[in-house]
Amino acid sequence: MASAPRFPLVARGLTVRLGGHVALERIDFTLDGHSRIAVLGANGAGKSVLLRTLHGLIVPTEGEVLWAGSRARPTDQAMVFQRPVMLRRSALANIEYALAVNGVQGKERSRRAREAIDRVGLAALAGRAARVLSGGEQQRLALARAWSLRPRVIFLDEPTASLDPAAAGEIERVIGEIHASGTAIVITTHHLGLARRVADEIVFLHQGRLTEQSPADRFFTVPRSPEAARFLQGELPWTTTSPAS
């Protein structure tokens, strides 16, 4: 796939104020093309705001997001939301729509849409209306839609929230395949077990500030920041009893 260099993706001094509230404060971090980063933190820590800012949905109040040194938002990056919006058309047509608006036409569009829906295990439901699929199926369809665009990096905002363990397991499998296909992953989650399995690196946010960025093994064994340590102490017992962890 010939495309302009995208990495490193650098967030430099990112500050986001939303309605007078500081959602992110002077965030700095770097993502390379093979990264699998999990963004962790308590509710309201700024995880989703960070993802949206990196993706380009929120313009930072201060600071900048640089893709290989450029401020231009590249098109070969995608995001999957916690509650993805499906258009009132078939599952396959939802993927084809995303491809069409990104300039993929004709047989190539059909082929890529079929390939994507097949890879997430929804080929049998291709003709079914997307909005009547279950939550887990819709989330897999959203992953297929994003994946079909062949992004260099994919942002996943709590993709397994509200899903049962089986559906969450399927999502995890698809995330693994997406990464194996050469796409960098940035994921927010409250599910520490998932973060442990899918991420190589952890970014920890506390009240809008990045307090730690560590390799996943080190983060879960010897977190450097006291906020992360407290977070893990409060959450770890839950992850050890989770069926999906």
Residue 217: CB minimum distance to other proteins, A = 32
- Crossing angle of the two packed helices 106-119 and 91-101, in degrees rounded to 10: 130
Q: Which of 4, 64, 70, 89 binds other proteins (CB under 8 A)?
A: 89
- Site size with other proteins, rule: CB under 8 A: 23
Separation of alpha carbons 27 and 218, rounded Å:
21
Based on the shown chain and the rule CB under 8 A, indicate whether residue 18 belongs to the binding site for other proteins. Answer: no
Strands 21-31 and 9-18: antiparallel
Beta bridge partners of 154: 78, 185
Residue 93: CB minimum distance to other proteins, A = 11
Residue 203: CB minimum distance to other proteins, A = 21
Separation of alpha carbons 36 and 200, rounded Å:
5
Q: Which of 75, 162, 221, 233 binds other proteins (CB under 8 A)?
A: 75
Based on the shown chain and the rule CB under 8 A, indicate whether residue 78 belongs to the binding site for other proteins. Answer: yes
Residue 218: CB minimum distance to other proteins, A = 32
Residue 140: closest CA among 169, 107, 182: 169
Of the pair 12, 52, the CB lying nearest other proteins is at 52
Beta bridge partners of 184: 153
Of the pair 104, 216, the CB lying nearest other proteins is at 104
Based on the shown chain and the rule CB under 8 A, indicate whether residue 52 belongs to the binding site for other proteins. Answer: yes
Based on the shown chain and the rule CB under 8 A, indicate whether residue 88 belongs to the binding site for other proteins. Answer: yes
> Which SS3 state, helix, strand or coil, does residue 200 take?
coil
Of the pair 185, 192, the CB lying nearest other proteins is at 185
Based on the shown chain and the rule CB under 8 A, indicate whether residue 162 belongs to the binding site for other proteins. Answer: no
Based on the shown chain and the rule CB under 8 A, indicate whether residue 161 belongs to the binding site for other proteins. Answer: no
- 51-60 long-range Cβ contacts below 8 angstroms, 24+ apart: 51/79, 51/155, 51/156, 51/157, 51/186, 51/188, 52/79, 52/157, 53/11, 53/14, 53/16, 53/24, 54/9, 54/11, 54/155, 54/186, 55/79, 55/155, 58/16, 58/18, 60/14, 60/15, 60/16, 60/24
Stretch that binds other proteins, among 32-40, 64-72, 76-84, 200-208 (CB under 8 A): 76-84
Residue 191: CB minimum distance to other proteins, A = 22
Based on the shown chain and the rule CB under 8 A, indicate whether residue 15 belongs to the binding site for other proteins. Answer: no
Q: Which of 8, 30, 97, 245 binds other proteins (CB under 8 A)?
A: 97
Which amino acid is located at 134 in the chain?
A: S
Residue with tokens 């770890």: 236
Residues that bind other proteins (CB under 8 A): 52, 55, 57, 75, 78-79, 81, 84-89, 97-98, 101-102, 129-132, 145, 149
